[in-house]
Chain A
Amino acid sequence: MTESLDYFYSFRSPYSYLSAPRVFALPERFDIEVKFRGVIPMAMRGQSVPRAKRLHTLRDVAREAKRLGMPFGRIHDPIGEGALRCLAVSQLATAQGRAGEFALAAGRGIWGEAIDVSSENGLREICRRAGLSWPECQAAVADPTSRERVEHDTAALAELGHWGVPVIALRGELFWGQDRIVDLETALSDLGLLRQTPAAVADDS
């Protein structure tokens, strides 16, 4: 049975955006399944985000995005309806095995291209890029059970004793932050989940 990790992600978190390409690429190198769990943004859960933190986040992410070679700066903050619509569609994308494609497309659109995901045109374009059917996405947005599942995932993060995103939970151990994926990789290696490359397999035989 394949080991899995829970990946708690917010569409309003630029650090989630930075983490996504590396998290979704983990199964290429490790024998691990990534379970995407979208959560409601902190500021929509009644948690205060002070001005100093908001300013620092934008500046720090700009530097990190440059280092990682990811577009950042043309922003349309999705807080509110945009984030909720993305979360609803992410439930559909997960069911269709396209959570990675959707999270990557939405992140790039929101943080690098200023796409307004609260608009029909904006969200439709993201869904198209992720290879999702627009009528099915519209149905997911209108489906009240999508919101229930998102609230369940948000509650699951709180039950783990954590507050922010991105968080990756592996066997009850938590890794918070896009800059802690390297520590997660160490933990995965320690668990013997590093996939053997064809060359390594040949050396062993």
Chain B
Amino acid sequence: MSSQLPPLARLSPRVVADTLARRTLPRAIVRSSQVTLPARLTATARRRRGRHERLELFIAFDDPCSAIAAIDLSARLAGRAVDIVPMPVIERGIEGDPAVGQKREYAVTDARRLARRAGLTLARETPLRAADTAFLAEWVAAAGPNPALLVFTIAALRRLWFEGDGPIERHAFLDLWREHVGSEPRRDPAAVREAEKRMSRRGPYETPAAWVAGRWYFAHDRPGQICEWLDELGWTPR
């Protein structure tokens, strides 16, 4: 009986839902991610107005892979009209993730290998506590737009992860801040919460992540692809 029905009539709601979830939707997501024309037009318009591209770099100071990403990306993007804006967060990760402790531990191992690729040596063997570096996130998040923030962020991440494994001494970072930014730092936990919300809106759920022109990447995993995306948008090295 059912074989005499037209094909569409044989499709039960369950089959339709299953097909949508397993085939149609994933394919549509992949296809839509390959649409680049709007981003390219926007980039062209920005250049014509003399503006730079903006790359939001979501980092956590207690995350060694954030240190790798900040150092690597700032070097790779030098010479392009792209401003890297550090967005420090503290709370991140998948809500209720039972493996969060394991992931923090593994990040140290992973960062050590990535550092080796870059000719660097990670100085720490164990993760840092987020609470111990929270003041750095609050300083950077509280400051207004300032190119010196990236310089400070990289200097602070280097000190945290590549220049010793001792306790975090705030006065040393205060000296760094004064050297690179100038004014006295201001702590603002609410500004960090704003950065965390912004990261969530952009899509990333973990650090380090780079958001640029509608796409986001894990910044330590995909530096080459970030450069390729910028090339495609016309933000090539000058």
Residue A171 is within 8 A (CB to CB) of chain B in the complex? no
Residues B26 and A75 in contact, CB atoms below 8 Å apart: yes
Q: Which of A16-24, A31-39, A45-53, A98-106 contacts B (4 or more CB under 8 A)?
A: A45-53
Residue A152 is within 8 A (CB to CB) of chain B in the complex? no
Q: How near does chain A come to B177, taking the closest CB pair, in angstroms?
A: 33
Residue B34 is within 8 A (CB to CB) of chain A in the complex? yes
Chain A interface category by residue count: 20 to 34
Report the Cα distance A59→B29, complex, angstroms: 7
Q: Cβ of B27: which chain A residues have Cβ within 8 Å of it? A: 73-75, 114
Q: How near does chain A come to B188, taking the closest CB pair, in angstroms?
A: 26
Report the Cα distance A182→B105, complex, angstroms: 21
Choose one: A53, A67, A73, A176; the contact of B110 (CB below 8 Å): A176
Residue A4 is within 8 A (CB to CB) of chain B in the complex? no
Q: Cβ of B116: which chain A residues have Cβ within 8 Å of it? A: 183, 186
Residues A163 and B99 in contact, CB atoms below 8 Å apart: yes
Contacts known (A77-B23, A176-B110); A58 close to B29, Cβ less than 8 A: yes
Q: Cβ of A67: which chain B residues have Cβ within 8 Å of it? A: 225
Contacts known (A48-B96, A50-B94, A63-B225); A56 close to B113, Cβ less than 8 A: no
Find the B residue at minimum CB distance from A56.
Answer: B203
User: What 1/0 flags go to B64-106 for Cβ under 8 Å of A?
Assistant: 0000000000000000000000000000001111110011011
Report the Cα distance A183→B114, complex, angstroms: 8
Residues B102 and A73 in contact, CB atoms below 8 Å apart: no
Choose one: B21, B30, B225; the contact of A72 (CB below 8 Å): B30
Interface set, chain A 55-82, CB cutoff 8 A to B: 55-56, 58-60, 62-64, 67, 72-77, 79
Q: How near does chain A come to B185, taking the closest CB pair, in angstroms?
A: 32
Q: Cβ of A128: which chain B residues have Cβ within 8 Å of it? A: none
Beyond known contacts A59-B30, A183-B117: 13 more, CB 8 A cutoff: A47-B98, A48-B96, A52-B203, A55-B29, A55-B203, A56-B216, A75-B23, A75-B27, A75-B30, A77-B22, A79-B22, A116-B22, A180-B113
Chain B residues at the A interface, C-beta cutoff of 8 Å? 21-23, 26-27, 29-31, 33-34, 94-99, 102-103, 105-106, 109-110, 113-114, 116-117, 200, 203-205, 215-218, 221-222, 225
- The 3 nearest A-B residue pairs measured at CB: A163-B99, A77-B22, A59-B33
